[in-house]
Amino acid sequence: MNAVTGTRARSDAALSLQGVDKIYAPTAKAPVHAVKALNLDVRKGEIVALLGSSGCGKTSTLRMIAGFESVTSGAIALAGRRIEQLAPARRGVAMAFEGYSLYPPLTVRDNIAFALKSARLSAREVEAKVAEVAALVEIEPILDRYPSSISGGQQQRASLARALVRPAELYLLDEPMGQLEPRLRALLRGRLKRLLTERGMTSIFVTHDQTEANALADRVAVMEGGVLQQLANQTELKERPANLYVATFIGEPPMNVFDASAEVGERVRFAVADGPKLDFSANEFSEAARNVIARRRRIVIGVRPHDIRLNAGGSEAKVVSNQWLGDQTHIALDVAGKLMVTVAFSEVGAQRGETMRYEIPSGKLHVFDADTGKAISHGSEAA
């Protein structure tokens, strides 16, 4: 018996990956372990983003689900059915991939309509569906052109339209908004989110852009080194990052982190060399967290840019830069020889070189194990 057929697949999971590995060139001297023991459940109607930098394993994962890449080991089930051995066309997935190109002999309109062939619709219904999705991605003017005569960006949108128009168990989208100009990208984010949510289209998309991931996805799977680091909604990724990788990857700008030493007693004290000393009441930390902190010689403390209070508290630092971006202000302070970034949604009157007071509120401190990178505690979470 394998692990997935039957009972172990979660009943509400539309897609389930169990122990999936991908090793490229396994017999070569230096095989590439692109995806490692990946477990991933996607609920019906859910939108999940695979997010990470290049080489993190996100695209290999998407390609294995699509069937463009074999799995080295592990199982993939879609709607309760094992699919990892099936040809791509038999998996019941709709895809918009780079390299999964439009049929050159057909116009854009016919390419999109062709995807509806198996849906047994009247000509009028097909026309209406094509028109709707073409409006969504703004390709109406090029519907009667051939793929070779339109730009790369237009091909990408036509391919996206072709994927979205057809009924499928799962939609797989590879960097769906890669090459769009900013206004259209923002529009498409909203329109796509509306469409996918309203119609309950279970979707997985790959992106290296966390703005895109956060805007569209219900949950984000952060990958690095072939390993799923954390799968959570964006609030959780920011407020409870599982480890230092996630903490310093997620957030624009990401969390500020500092090596620190800790002292646990009546109070919990943290000291950053040449930097701030933080002093908190012990009951702001759970007993478990206090125990772990006490046993570690080296820890890392972190605070998100939006959580730092300026002109408050007793710590001081020099202003390295004060940059107003129209709708927000980014201020970098020199703390312990590093930049500590803070963000405010108004203009802040501080000049470069000035000394500024700041405070890291106790409820906003994150503590990590310096050796493993694992999170020990987040904010005020005394049990």
The answer to whether 34 and 22 are in contact (CB under 8 A) is yes
Helix residue spans in 78-227 (DSSP H): 108-114, 123-137, 152-165, 182-198, 210-216
The residue among 107 and 214 lying less far from another protein, judged by its C-beta, is 214
Residues 248-287 touching another protein, rule: CB under 8 A, are: 251-254
β strands within 272-325, DSSP E: 277-281, 299-303, 309-324
215, 255, 356, 376: which one contacts another protein (CB under 8 A)?
215
CA distance 259 to 57: 29
The residue among 103 and 324 lying less far from another protein, judged by its C-beta, is 324
86 binds another protein per the rule CB under 8 A: no
Strands 47-51 and 219-224, how do they pair? parallel
The residue among 307 and 359 lying less far from another protein, judged by its C-beta, is 307
Q: How far is the CB of 343 from another protein (least distance, A)?
A: 7
Q: How far is the CB of 120 from another protein (least distance, A)?
A: 30
Please, is 345 exposed, middle or buried when counting C-beta atoms within 10 Å of its C-beta (0-12, 13-18, 19+)? exposed
Q: What is the distance between the terminal CA atoms of the chain, rounded to a whole angstrom?
A: 42
Per CB under 8 A, which region of 24-32, 154-162, 285-293, 317-325 contacts another protein? 317-325
- Judged by phi (left if over 0) then psi (alpha if -120 to 50, else beta), residue 236 lies in alpha
Per CB under 8 A, which region of 2-10, 26-34, 55-63, 212-220 contacts another protein? 212-220
Tokens, residue 183:
């206004």
Angle subtended at Cα 347 by Cα 341 and Cα 348, rounded to the nearest 5 degrees: 60
Residues 170-199 touching another protein, rule: CB under 8 A, are: 182-183, 186-187, 189-191, 193-194, 197
160, 216, 264, 317: which one contacts another protein (CB under 8 A)?
216
Q: How far is the CB of 197 from another protein (least distance, A)?
A: 8
Residues 325-354 touching another protein, rule: CB under 8 A, are: 325-328, 330, 332, 339, 341, 343, 345, 352
- The residues of the shown chain that bind another protein, judged by CB under 8 A, are 53, 182-183, 186-187, 189-191, 193-194, 197, 211, 214-216, 234-235, 251-254, 306, 320-321, 323-328, 330, 332, 339, 341, 343, 345, 352
